């Protein structure tokens, strides 16, 4: 079965880069433009293998979205993909339940490896 990955990012360019990278690896990609849109897409797709989310976005940022998902008990693993590298933010994401943190600009092979690792880990739960 094709695995679905939700990409939450307000940058069309980043969503396209992620889409191209992961589609080539056989994933089906769903897109959202901010945290609120991301939450809606997660509610509509209960079979997501992974969520990849930016941090800085309008309306609802990625960390707020992760906190909200944790509150609501969604088990989907989350990988943060951001230009941010502040230790405090990374620790907040970890405490909120994110499973990984990757910095932009990213190398496609590093994103591919991160996604397959986190999907594999989630399947082994």
**Residues binding other proteins (CB under 8 A):** 85, 87, 90, 94, 98-103, 106-107, 109-110, 113-114, 117-118, 121
Q: Considering the complex, what minimum distance in angstroms separates the CB of residue 43 from other proteins?
A: 25
**Residue number, 4 or 94, with CB nearest to other proteins:** 94
Smallest separation (angstroms) from other proteins to the CB of 62 = 14
Using CA atoms, how far apart are residues 59 and 117, in angstroms rounded to an integer? 30
For the record, the structure tokens of 26 come out as 């056989």
Q: Assess contact for 94 and 44: CB atoms under 8 A.
A: no
For other proteins, which is the closer residue by CB, 24 or 103?
Answer: 103
Interhelix angle 108-123/12-24, rounded to 10 degrees, is 70
What is the closest distance, in whole angstroms, from the C-beta atom of residue 40 to other proteins in the complex? Answer: 26
Is the CB of residue 115 less than 8 Å from the CB of residue 5? yes
């Amino acid at each position: 079965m094709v695995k679905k990955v939700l990409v939450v990012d307000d940058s069309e360019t980043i969503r396209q880069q992620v889409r191209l990278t992961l589609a080539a690896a056989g994933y089906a990609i769903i897109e959202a433009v901010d945290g609120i849109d991301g939450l809606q897409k997660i509610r509509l797709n209960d079979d997501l293998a992974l969520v990849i989310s930016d941090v800085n976005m309008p309306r609802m940022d990625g960390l707020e979205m992760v906190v909200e998902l944790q509150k609501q008990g969604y088990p989907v693993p989350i990988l943060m993909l951001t230009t941010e590298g502040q230790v405090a933010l990374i620790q907040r994401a970890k405490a909120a339940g994110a499973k990984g943190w990757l910095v932009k600009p990213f190398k496609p092979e590093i994103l591919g490896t991160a996604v397959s690792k986190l999907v594999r880990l989630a399947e082994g739960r």
